[in-house]
Chains A and B, each alone.
Chain A
C-alpha cells in the first residue's frame, strides 16, 4: 500500500489546452495563458490540521500501517519468490489475489488466459516474468483512457460537475480538489447543489471555510438547477477560474434522479458555453462489481469525462476501475487516500497496478 503515498513520477508538462493537477509541493495546477492569480491564504481554521505538512502525512501513514494492516498485506512477491515453475497452484493463487482486488471475473480470466498461453509456449523465464507481464497488462487496460486530459476553456471559468451514488465521498473529494486549485493560485467557487440530503450544504460550507473559498448555497429543498443557474451567473461576474458543483448522491438506477442530473448539465451549458468541462464520477474503492453499472448508467446520461477513486486508504484495492477504464474508456483523475485536505493524489496507472498485486493473505 505504500505505493499510494510514494512520490509521483515525472509529470508530462501540460500543454496550454490541458489541465494537469500535480500533487507535489509545486502545486502548479493550471497552465493558463496570462492571468497569474495571487495565491490565497491557505492557513486552515483549525491548528491541528496542517494540510500541506509532510510530517503529518508521515504520521498518518504510520498510523494507517498499524499492526492490523501489516497482517493483512503480503506482497505478491512472496508468492513469486522461491518459485520457478509456473503451475496450476500459482495460477490459482494469482486468481485469488486478482479477484479479491475486485477486478471482476472476466478481466481476471482474460489475464490468466494470457498468462497460461505464455506459460504453455514456454515464453516465460520464471514467475517474476509472469508478474511483470500481468502488471503491464493491467497498466495497458488503465492507460487506454489516461491520455484524455481535462480540457480548459479558452475563456471563462473551468466548470466541474461532480456526481456519484450516495456516500462515496463526493463532498470530501470536492474539498480536496478545490484545495489543489487554490494552492496553485486559482480562484475557486463551490456550488452546493445537493439540496436534498440533510445538512449537505453545511458540509460543503465547512470545507469552503477550511480552504478559504466561497460557497454558493441556497436553502434545502430548492431545485438544484436553480442554485447552479444563480451560481454560474455570479461566477461570471466574479471571474472565478474554477467552479466545482456538488450534486446530491443518487442511485444510478433511479430514472427521475438521473434525469435531474441531465437537467443540471443542460442548465450549465446554457449559462456558460461548453460547461461542464469536466463531468466527474466519484467511485468508492470498497465498491464491487456494481461500480460498472454505476459508470455505465451515469455515462449514458451525462457522459462522464473523468473518475475519482476514493477511500483507498483502507484495505480495498478498487480494482473495479480497471474494468471501467477498459470498458468505457474513462480516465481516472484522482485517488483519495485519507481524510485530510492534501490526501488526494494524481492517478498513476503503474503505481495502481503495483498495489493491486499485493496479496491479502
Chain B
C-alpha cells in the first residue's frame, strides 16, 4: 500500500467496528490473566449480533458462538494487547475454518464429455453464471457445450443462446415445448458428435418446495450422472438460505456452491449457513455482470466481510491491477526526495478513479462501512475528483511543480480556466500541501520504504498475535 498516499490516509481512520465494540466490553478485564466464561459472554453477544446482521442463520450462529466461546475461554489476556482483538482473531480464524480451506477446482476428470449441472432458486443467477463458467473453462482449453434446460421462464433459452453467441460457443437448440430431461439426454449425445468435452446444463430456477420440479432435477441427475452439481446461491440471501440449501442438497447431493452477486454490499453470511448445512465447498463467487466476473472463492476475505471488517485484500488486488509498477516506484522515489508535485497528485486521483467507484472502495476499508452509515460524514464525491483534475489541468507546468508560486491572480486564472471558483482552487492547494506535510511525517514513521536499516528510527515491533 506504500504507493497509495490516499489510502494510507484512510488507514489512519481505520478501525474495526467489531473489535472496537469488543474492546469496550473487555475494558475492565485488563490485568485479569485469563479470559473466563463470564468475561466472554458480553463479547459473544457482540459477535452474535455481527453475525446475525450479516444474515448468518440463527441456528448456525448459535452453534458458532458455542464453539468459539470454548476456544476463547482460557486465552491469556496480555496487557499489551487489546483482548477484543484477541477474540476477533479467534472468531475470524474459526470462520475461515468453517468456510473451507483452499479453493477447490472443478472436477472435470472421468469419462468425457463431462457434465456440469447448475441448480438453484429463481433469480439466483444461474444463466449468467453458466456463461461465466463456460468462459472460464474455455480459457482453460476445454470445449464447453451450453445446454439451456429452462423451458419455463420466458426467453431463458434465448438468454443462454445470446451468451453462447458472444463467447462463440455452441449452444444446444432447446425449444420451449420440450421435456428438460429429453433435452439434456439429446444434448450429451450432440456434444459427443460436436467433439465438445464439457456439457454445461443451465436448469430452470425453482422453489425447493416445488416437489414436481425437484423431481425433474433428480431425473436429469440420474440420467446424466453429472460430475458436478453446482448450487447457485445469491449472496444477499437471508435466513432462509439454510432451508433452501438443505433441500437441494438432500434431493441432489450437490457437489459445490457458487455464490453470486458479491459485487454488492451484502455481508454474505448466507455462505456460512449454506456451507454449514451442506458441507460442500464454495467454489466460485460472482462479482459482476460481465462474463469474466467470476472469481475463485477466498474464505479469509469472506470471513472479514461477514464480520464487517472490510475487504482489504480485494482492495489491494484491485489497486495492483491498475497501478503501473514503474510509475509507483517513481512516485515512491519522489516522495522520498520531496518532489511530489501537483502533477503526481493528479496521477493519484486518476488511478483511484480507475479502481472503481469511491464509495465501494471505502466500503472495503475496515471500519469504513460503519462510518459510511453515519450520514454526517462527507461522502466521497466522484465529481469532486473530476473538479480537482480540472483545476490541476488548468495550471502551468511551473505551477504544478512549485505550488508556492500560485498567487491570487494565478488562482483567479486557474479558477476561470477550470470552470471553478477561487475557493475550489484554494481547497485543492490546501489539501495538496497538507498531504505533503503528512508525507513528511510518514516518511519519518518508515512508510514509503524510506526507513531502511540504519535510517534512524527504530521500527516498532508488532505485538504478538495482533490481528491484521
Contacts and interface: CB of A to CB of B under 8 A. Distances in A.
A198 B261 contact: no
A286 B238 contact: yes
B240 A252 contact: no
Contacts of A63: 210-212
B244 A314 contact: yes
A284 B234 CA distance: 11
A314 B263 contact: no
Contact of B121 (A66, A207, A251, A286): A286
A314 B209 contact: yes
A179 to B, nearest CB: 14
Interface stretch (A31-39, A75-83, A97-105, A140-148): A97-105
Interface stretch (B46-54, B418-426, B438-446, B458-466): B46-54
A256 B243 contact: no
B208 A206 contact: no
B359 A255 contact: yes
B234 A167 contact: yes
A165 interface: yes
A13 interface: no
B261 A199 contact: no
Contacts of A316: 238-240, 243
Contact of A167 (B124, B156, B357, B359): B124
Given A63-B211, A314-B209, A102 B125 contact: no
Nearest to A196: B289
Nearest to B123: A167
A100 B263 contact: no
Nearest to B48: A105
A171 B162 CA distance: 18
Nearest to A256: B357
A85 interface: no
Contacts of A69: 209
A167 B264 contact: no
Interface stretch (A229-237, A262-270, A288-296): A288-296
Interface string A299-329: 0000000000001011111001000000000
Interface in A18-73: 63-64, 66-69, 72
Contacts of B357: 253-256
Interface stretch (B110-118, B133-141, B147-155, B294-302): B147-155
Contact of B265 (A99, A169, A200, A253): A253
Of the listed residues B53, B124, B160, B236, the one surrounded by the most CB atoms of chain A closer than 10 A to its CB is B236
B208 A314 contact: yes
A199 B158 contact: yes
Contacts of B52: 99, 105
A286 B237 contact: yes
Contacts of A104: 53
Interface residues of B, number: 56
A69 B208 CA distance: 9
Nearest to A103: B239
A17 interface: no
Contact of B359 (A105, A200, A253): A253
Interface string A134-171: 00000000000000000000000000000001111101
B351 interface: no
Given A68-B211, A99-B58, A167 B49 contact: no
A16 to B, nearest CB: 36
Interface string A90-102: 0000001001111
B163 interface: yes
B264 A253 contact: yes
B238 A320 contact: yes
A115 interface: no
B263 A202 contact: no
B349 interface: no
Contacts of A165: 236, 261, 264
Nearest to A316: B240
A101 B154 CA distance: 30
A334 to B, nearest CB: 17
A260 interface: no
A360 interface: yes
Contact of A68 (B125, B247, B263): B247
Contact of A100 (B237, B239, B244, B261): B239
Given A197-B159, A206-B155, A284-B234, 14 more contacts: A102-B239, A165-B236, A166-B123, A167-B122, A167-B124, A253-B357, A253-B360, A253-B363, A286-B121, A287-B237, A287-B238, A288-B269, A289-B54, A317-B240
Interface of A: 63-64, 66-69, 72, 96, 99-102, 104-105, 165-169, 171, 196-200, 202-203, 205-207, 220, 251-256, 284, 286-291, 293, 311, 313-317, 320, 339, 360
5 contacts: A68-B247, A102-B238, A199-B156, A287-B234, A313-B207
Interface of B: 49, 52-55, 57-59, 121-125, 128, 152-156, 158-163, 166, 207-212, 234, 236-241, 243-244, 247, 261, 263-267, 269-270, 289, 357, 359-360, 363, 382
Which 5 A-B pairs rank lowest in CB-CB distance, beginning with the nearest? Answer: A288-B238, A167-B123, A206-B154, A288-B55, A198-B162
